[in-house]
């Protein structure tokens, strides 16, 4: 999907007299579809004036009565997310109209509760983007100010990024991006391939910035989806390392990939205990984006990278085990976010850290009851080898102390318990830092990649007590996602930290099976807003 902007200085909508020149300029553009939004109030004026006044009335006169005829036929509706397509008529070319279609999108009643927020906008934009895809429309001109009329003007940037996010989701085809893996039934690319955001001088600066940001974010999401969807025989720990090195060449990230001997030298005994059951070598990937000043403390993102999770000796049931290739979606989202911020040259220092390995059963695999020593020096009794994500993350969380970070966020498909608690709507967020929780919550609302705070009370630490080591790696079935976060908290005492459990949001099962690209939008928006 290609995104761009086009500014029409004359396309102001503040006064009725400006509407006709505004629409004339837009309709004169050679596009498969011009997308405009209207409100219930606009429709009421159209009806009362019999197609001669207001927003829709001015458009109706330029289109030789097409809008009013559509309303008379019942094709225009006041309900939010209602759509009406006007196709070119014989009179259009003689009136210098080059647009082949006009898609009218209803914003609904702007006086209704909740009508002016991003959730309401998301419903509208999803419907419009879906209409544009899957047919003969190749390019569309999206007139941003018409949508902004139904919302606060300061939401334009968020609305545009969200529109691009949904358009990118619709355009994504795994089989198109990786045709060698779809030999017999190749996916076809969506014909809808170009979205141009039209604006005026009032919103030009914000619009251009939002499109640049959204383009980078969509590319980051696509990378995260690709990595999550690739099978585990291709997307191995070395593959992730090579992918990171490829990004270094492409967008200028500084990348370091540590192998087994270097990991051993760092005394990451917890991480290595997970990797030892596999013949595939572990990797420890460090990606640096130096966009800020040399002395500025970085924000560090840590992503769980289990490229396949059998559960180890604590073997998982065979049903749906194929989906355990997605257990590296934390790593994928960190890599996708780093790719996105590097593309747009974000003026902040950000470091991505990815511990990656397989969790396999073998004669060399860690057994339940084994005790290992983490990089921090704390000993861990491994009661269940299927609670392996926390074992690789804890050493990574100790490692990042050397960066003296401003904040650390780890991202992991960590617990099935989080899916039970929150389903597939919110990612779980755990932190004792109120400012960090607030910032992540705000970023989630801005991208509709939302989080929900779960407790991190010290009382839950009681469940992690061990008779033989400093800590056990599981705390039993009660509050499983909470005790997993409490385990990680023991390794994060020297900096501000938040944990995102994305087990329920990074992947879809069923007919739409595949990686979602979450929480790249959340992390991207969070980093944009950091001072």
Please give the Cα distance from 30 to 21 (Å, whole number): 17
Three-state SS letters, 150-162: CCCHHHHHHHHHH
Among candidate residues 123, 173, 208, 316, the one labeled active-site is 316
Please give the Cα distance from 206 to 522 (Å, whole number): 20
Query: What would the two tokens of residue 404 be?
Result: 């003296």
Do 129 and 170 touch, CB atoms closer than 8 A?
Answer: yes
Among candidate residues 325, 390, 406, 518, the one labeled active-site is 390
Please give the Cα distance from 325 to 309 (Å, whole number): 7
Distances (CA, A) of 421 to 416, 452, 482, 501, 520: 9, 10, 10, 11, 22
Sign of CA dihedral 12, 18, 23, 25: negative
Please give the Cα distance from 433 to 427 (Å, whole number): 17
Please give the Cα distance from 427 to 441 (Å, whole number): 10
The DSSP symbol for 338 reads H
3-state secondary structure of 440: helix
Nearest-5° angle of CA 289, CA 410, CA 511? 105
Beta strand spans in 305-444 (E)? 305-309, 349-359, 371-373, 379-381, 407-412, 427-430
Q: List all residues 6 or more positions away from 493 whose beta carbon is below 8 Å from its beta carbon.
A: none
Query: What would the two tokens of residue 94 be?
Result: 């003689």
Beta strand spans in 313-404 (E)? 349-359, 371-373, 379-381
Say whether 316 is catalytic: yes
Say whether 390 is catalytic: yes
Please give the Cα distance from 504 to 423 (Å, whole number): 6
Sign of CA dihedral 116, 517, 523, 337: negative
Q: List all residues 6 or more positions away from 424 whose beta carbon is below 8 Å from its beta carbon.
A: 504, 505, 508
The neighbouring-strand residues paired with 472 are 381
CA–chain centroid gap for 460, Å, is 31
The DSSP symbol for 494 reads T
In terms of DSSP H, where are the helices of 234-308? 237-251, 260-265, 269-275
Nearest-5° angle of CA 254, CA 256, CA 261? 170
Please give the Cα distance from 39 to 55 (Å, whole number): 9
CA–chain centroid gap for 392, Å, is 24
The neighbouring-strand residues paired with 373 are 379
| Catalytic residue ranges | 316, 390
């Amino acid at each position: 999907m290609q995104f761009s902007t086009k500014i029409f200085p004359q396309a102001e909508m503040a006064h009725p007299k400006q509407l006709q020149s505004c629409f004339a300029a837009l309709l004169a553009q050679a596009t498969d579809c011009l997308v405009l939004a209207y409100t219930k109030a606009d429709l009421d004026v159209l009806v009362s004036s019999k197609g001669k006044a207001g927003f829709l009335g001015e458009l109706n006169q330029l289109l030789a009565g097409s809008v009013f005829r559509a309303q008379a036929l019942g094709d225009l509706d006041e309900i939010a997310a209602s759509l009406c397509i006007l196709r070119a008529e014989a009179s259009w070319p003689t009136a210098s109209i080059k647009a082949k279609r006009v898609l009218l999108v209803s914003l609904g009643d702007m006086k209704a509760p909740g009508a002016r927020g991003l959730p309401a906008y998301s419903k509208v934009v999803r419907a419009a983007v879906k209409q544009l895809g899957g047919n003969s429309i190749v390019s569309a001109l999206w007139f941003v100010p018409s949508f902004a009329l139904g919302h606060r003007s300061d939401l334009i940037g968020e609305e545009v990024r969200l529109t691009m996010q949904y358009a990118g989701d619709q355009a994504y085809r795994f089989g198109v991006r990786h045709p060698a893996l779809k030999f017999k039934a190749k996916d076809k690319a969506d014909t809808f391939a170009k979205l141009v955001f039209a604006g005026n001088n009032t919103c030009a600066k914000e619009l251009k910035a939002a499109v640049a940001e959204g383009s980078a974010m969509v590319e980051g999401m696509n990378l995260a989806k690709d990595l999550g969807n690739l099978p585990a025989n291709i997307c191995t720990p070395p593959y992730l390392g090579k992918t990171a090195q490829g990004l270094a060449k492409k967008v200028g990230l500084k990348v370091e990939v540590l192998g087994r001997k270097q990991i051993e030298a760092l005394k990451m005994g917890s991480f290595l205990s997970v990797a030892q059951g596999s013949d595939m070598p572990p990797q420890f990937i460090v990606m640096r984006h130096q966009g800020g000043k040399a002395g500025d403390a970085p924000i560090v993102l840590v992503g769980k990278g289990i490229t396949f999770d059998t559960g180890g000796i604590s073997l998982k049931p065979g049903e749906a085990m194929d989906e355990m290739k997605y257990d590296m979606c934390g790593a994928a989202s960190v890599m996708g976010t780093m790719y996105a911020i590097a593309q747009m040259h974000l003026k902040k220092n950000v470091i991505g850290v990815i511990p990656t390995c397989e969790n396999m059963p073998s004669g060399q695999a860690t057994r339940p009851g084994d005790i290992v020593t983490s990089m921090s020096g704390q000993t861990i009794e491994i009661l269940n080898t299927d609670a392996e994500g926390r074992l690789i993350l804890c050493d990574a969380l100790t490692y990042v102390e050397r960066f003296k970070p401003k904040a650390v966020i780890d991202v992991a498909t960590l617990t099935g318990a989080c899916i039970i608690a929150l389903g597939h709507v919110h990612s779980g967020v755990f932190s004792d830092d109120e400012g960090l929780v607030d910032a992540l919550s705000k970023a989630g609302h801005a991208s509709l990649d939302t989080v929900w705070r779960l407790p991190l009370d010290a009382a839950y630490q009681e469940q992690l007590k061990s008779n033989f080591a400093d800590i056990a790696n599981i705390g039993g079935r009660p509050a499983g996602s909470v005790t997993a976060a409490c385990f990680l908290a023991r390794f994060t005492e020297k900096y501000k930290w938040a944990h995102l459990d994305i087990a329920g949001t990074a992947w879809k099962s069923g007919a739409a099976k595949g990686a979602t690209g979450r929480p790249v939008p959340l992390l991207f928006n969070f980093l944009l807003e950091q001072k």
